Structure 1
Amino acid sequence: MPSPKSSAIDANLIIEGLAFGESPRWHDGRLWVCNWGTGEIVAVDADGNSEIMLTIPATLPYSIDWPADGRLLVVSGREGLLLRQEADGTLATHVDLRPLSKSPWNEIVVDGRGNIYVNGGGPAPAPGEHFGPGTIVLIQPDGTIRQVAENIAFANGMAVTPDNRTLIVAESHANRLTAFDIAEDGTLARRRVWADLGGDYPDGICIDAEGCVWYADVPNRHCVRVREGGMKLDRVEADRGCFACMLGGPDGRTLYIAAAEWRGFEHMISDARTGQVLSVEAPAPGAGWPAYSSGKR
């Protein structure tokens, strides 16, 4: 149930001049952001100093996370590849996702047991649509790959609870967060609505230590903290679309928000550089996966 009493929090500007920041992750004391439209993966410190860590042969979508061995994983969405950065900085194919779907892949999360979940893909979109129903695939530590969910209404951000027992996915076009139980073998079961968000469109998400989820929302230009069941507790307003969020900082209590002006899918690749990273102090530290604590599993 939406809560009209949710409190608003003012945000601070950390960095600007990005294209579209997506898939933010806290790693090795900095926020890492995929700068969609440029192929860049950028790391930003608390003072707004940025460094291009890697440029990949993709423009969008692409997303990142780290397994326990510390090697960066990159979903190259339109190319249908999950890439792995080697010790010498080069990229190798970790998994070829093309046999599973010709549609673009979107987000990744690695849980505390080394299971990799990637969403997107699925059937081809209908005429006039940009995305069809999405899927979730599981890549196990031994390399086994299988589809574990389907018919996701525009699969977006994903997060796994600290006990590694629940995966939550943002279904943007269904205005909800959906949860699955994670079985011992990493497969997903007992699909259910974790939170009905009313008129909100969840994009990137993260979990805090109180069991709440923060979700970013592009059309409504805000980032919202919600409890299971749908009660909205806190809200950060922005003057542009909020694409994704991540809890980080030294104690995990800083919420970072990737925001940019939205002009439609057809204008996502352009010379416009309206992307920003905003930050606010959060009520509770980060928890679960993606992890805020330097990628520790």
Structure 2
Amino acid sequence: MGARELRTLVEGGSFFEGPRWHEGRWWVSDFYTHTVRAIDPETGAEEVILEVPGQPSGLGWLPDGSLIVNSMTDHRLLRRTVDGAVSVHADVTEYCGGHLNDLIVDGEGRAYAGNFGFDLMNMAHPEPTSLVRVDPDGTVHREGEHLWFPNAMMISGNLLIVAETFGGGFTEFTIEPDGSLIDQRIWGQVAPRVAPGSVEEMLPNLGYAPDGCTLDAAGHIWAADGLGGPTCRIAPGGDIVDEIELPEGLAVFACQLGGHDGRELLLCAAPDFLEVSRRDAREAVLLTTTVEVSAHAHA
């Protein structure tokens, strides 16, 4: 466990998030340069696809090829068509506590998005929140309840799994034919849930804080640990079965399986996640390594 070779693909980012593999390239958001970039998996050559003044995060694609991007600080989903035209797909301000965060788009073009639930960067008191579902026509629906910092999501068939960063594990839903989420339940609890309190009270006791994550073909999840621990492969139920350690001074905050054989794991790494530290620094990197089990088909 943990003895894999890491290759540096890109250096000099501010804070990379929302990694995706799409049409033969890696795609990432870079928070504080306010850009969405597509990256050649061999050379690391970058193309700026879109500038998002409201800070980009989660990425996904509609069936017609349009890119959907979460704009975090103004709580909007942006839509960039294949010809480059950009519009507001939905404004979900009334459903958000704190920043809009990650998203996933299903095969029907429905986008599911999470939000912080509270103002993390100013250490406001944590509060639970819910997901939002944005249908292809831009209509918005609240989904789920009492989620502690819902983060990255994965879809397998009619199941949606979401990481709860302040919940120490993963929650699963069944997706109804109309896209609504039912039967909220635990997919895997990696660390015990902690009692609600202030950020200063909760963070030291979390034990594990699943951040950006990706589902493999065996139904296991590779997940970054927002507390700075190793990137872990997690079995259904919550047991850690593999780990990837990073060089000292770096932590991973998101990861994604992809590459031409689905076995490349992209790691979004930085010294920490704090805006005050990352906003003006250019210390974020993208690393890759090879794993044994390829990406789940939806990824």
TM-score of the aligned structures, taking structure 2 as reference length? 0.87
Query: Deviations 1:136-178 (Å, cap 9, x if unpaired)?
Result: 01112343321011221111111111x1x11111111111111
| Structure 2 counterparts to residues 116-135 of structure 1, below 5 A | 116-120=111-115, 122=117, 128-129=123-124, 132-135=127-130
The aligned residue for residue 200 of structure 1 is 208
- 1:57 corresponds, among 52, 57, 62, to 52
Shift of 1:87: 3.6
**Count of aligned residue pairs for this structure pair:** 282
Could you tell me how far 1:134 is from its partner in structure 2?
A: 2.7
Partner residue of 2:28? Answer: 33
- Counterpart of 2:78 in structure 1 is 83
SS state of the match for residue 99, structure 1?
helix
Identity, % of aligned positions: 33
1:256 corresponds in structure 2 to 266
Over aligned residue pairs, what C-alpha RMSD do you find? 2.2
Q: Distance in 1 between matches of 2:129 and 2:4?
A: 33
1:10 and 1:236 in contact (8 A); partners too: no
SS in 1 for 2:94: coil
1:282-297 alignment runs, 5 A limit: 282-289=291-298, 291=299
Residue-by-residue CA offset, 1:204-230 (whole Å, 9 max, x unaligned): 011111111110113234211111011
Checking the alignment, whether the CA contact within 8 Å between 1:159 and 1:288 is kept in structure 2 is no
Cα distance, 1:202 vs structure 2: 0.7
Q: Cα deviation per residue 1:110-144 (whole Å; 9 max; x = unaligned)? A: 1123221011165677x842753232011123433
Gaps of 5+ in 2: 192-206
| Residue of structure 1 aligned with 2:160, choices 164, 167, 170 | 167
> Given that residues 194 and 229 in structure 1 are in contact (C-alpha distance below 8 angstroms), is that contact kept between their aligned partners in structure 2?
yes
In the alignment, the residues of structure 1 paired with residue 208 and residue 114 of structure 2 have an alpha-carbon distance, to the nearest angstrom, of 20
Aligned to 1:183: 176
Q: Retained in 2: the 8 A contact 1:176–1:197?
A: yes
Q: Which has the higher contact order (CA 8 A, sep 6+)?
A: 1
1:141 aligned residue: 136
Q: SS of 1:174's equivalent?
A: coil
The two structures have a TM-score, normalised by structure 1, of 0.87
